[in-house]
Amino acid sequence: MPTPRTLADLDAPQLVIDLDVVDANLQRMFGAFQNREVDVRVHFKSLKCAGLARYIACHGGDKFLCAKLNEAEVLADAGLTDIFIANQIVGPIKLRRLAELARRADVRVCVDDADNVREMSRAATEAGATIGVLVEVNIGMNRCGVEPGEPALELARLVRSLPGLRFDGLQGYDGHLQLVADADERKRKCHQSLEKLIATRRLIEKAGIPVKVVTGAGTGTWEFVGFYDGITEIQPGSFVLMDSIYHQVRPEFACALSIMAAVISKAPGRYVLDAGSKAISKDFGSPAILGRPHDKVARLAEEHTVVESDRIDLRIGDRVRVIPAHCCATMNLHRNCVAVRQEQVEAIWPIEASGRYD
């Protein structure tokens, strides 16, 4: 099969990344912190693709975080070794993997439980590794994390006392605020959460323990957190690719991710595409049709997307591009993606961490 040169050379359905849009999104985010000592650590759970991560690293972003251990291993295999796993890693099997990973990469991980910290110390010591540790603080999401203040200080002291571990600082993620529609409300609640996180930093430092890293935020709160005193790092991910839902909250970042699909059927008032929920995530809402703002996705079946339209000017076999409602979940559905610029194919990248939950 000849190497595809343009999108027209590719079969549908196909996951597509527009590199011109990616470039603009990266410049918007990284440029905002050129004169501020705040690191932008890109969330790999939104990408899951080592080729795209390498591309971002070449454009100024060589720090990444992950949701899962397998994502961190993919990054290390790609030579990207400044890694934060923004999650708890538990159990002897995963802790051994974590310790082995720490022998070849600079790895940090979240903790919120004393027994887990002790087990992690044993695994690191047995492997001859050092694992960086961030105490996760619950700042309102009520998912993971110890409570602000004394509970975080107590856990930080434990981490500092054990071999094989290095206490680096605090994580406080405001995931519950990322899609709050009203920007003023989102900022106000974000700052209320950050007050707890920074007060905890001051408490730990007052106890004589250095706090090198204080990290948090997502695409929805990136500048509210990034320009807050006491924060050293933000961890957005969706801003790179974006989706139809996040774009409503953060219109300064454009949608680079789409699924090229073919029209396989049409009738008065509607047409049907050959990609459904197995290719297009709908978990945050409704996908959108690129360049056809009056067309509305009515429903997704497993292999079909039904689009309502009062302008059926498409023929059977024509291609349209669907913007998913959740970029992270859509990347997880595919095994490769095509990177294009002005419809010209620049790369075909495998998505190494897709479909994995370990």
Confidence of residue 311 (pLDDT cuts 50, 70, 90): confident
Name the percent of the chain lying above pLDDT 90: 97
Confidence of residue 4 (pLDDT cuts 50, 70, 90): confident
* Third-level CATH fold of 20-240: TIM Barrel (3.20.20)
- Distance separating alpha carbons of residues 243 and 328, to the nearest angstrom: 9
pLDDT in tens, 134-144: 999 999 999 99
Q: Please, which residues have CB within 8 angstroms of residue 158's CB and are 6 or more apart in sequence?
A: 114, 117, 118
Eight-state DSSP code of residue 238: G
pLDDT in tens, 149-189: 999 999 999 999 999 999 999 999 999 999 999 999 999 99
Reduced to 3 states (helix: H, G, I; strand: E, B; else coil), residue 291 is coil
Mean pLDDT over residues 61-90, rounded? Answer: 98
**If we measure between CA atoms, which residue out of 56, 64, 69 comes closest to residue 81?**
64
- Look up the pTM and report it: 0.96
pLDDT at 231 over 80: yes
- What is the residue type of 148? P
- pLDDT of amino acid 32: 97
131 and 120 Cβ atoms separated by less than 8 Å:
yes
Return the sign of the alpha-carbon dihedral for residues 198, 199, 200, 206: positive
Place of tokens 């703002």: 293
- pLDDT of amino acid 312: 86
- Distance separating alpha carbons of residues 187 and 220, to the nearest angstrom: 10
pLDDT at 1 over 70: no
Q: Please, which residues have CB within 8 angstroms of residue 1's CB and are 6 or more apart in sequence?
A: none
Helices (H), 292-341: 327-333
- pLDDT of amino acid 286: 92
pLDDT in tens, 243-260: 999 999 999 999 999 999
Mean pLDDT over residues 306-319, rounded? Answer: 95
pLDDT in tens, 191-215: 999 999 999 999 999 999 999 999 9
DSSP 117-182: HHHHHHHHHHHT--EEEEEEB-SSS-SS-BPTTHHHHHHHHHHHHSTTEEEEEEEE--GGGTT-S-
Mean pLDDT over residues 60-77, rounded? Answer: 97
Confidence of residue 2 (pLDDT cuts 50, 70, 90): low
**If we measure between CA atoms, which residue out of 146, 213, 133, 215 comes closest to residue 174?**
215
Helices (H), 5-91: 19-31, 50-58, 69-77
pLDDT in tens, 280-302: 998 888 999 999 999 999 999 99
Average pLDDT of the chain, as a whole number: 97
Eight-state DSSP code of residue 240: G
For the chain, the domains span 20-240
For the chain, how far is it from start to end, CA to CA, in angstroms? 34
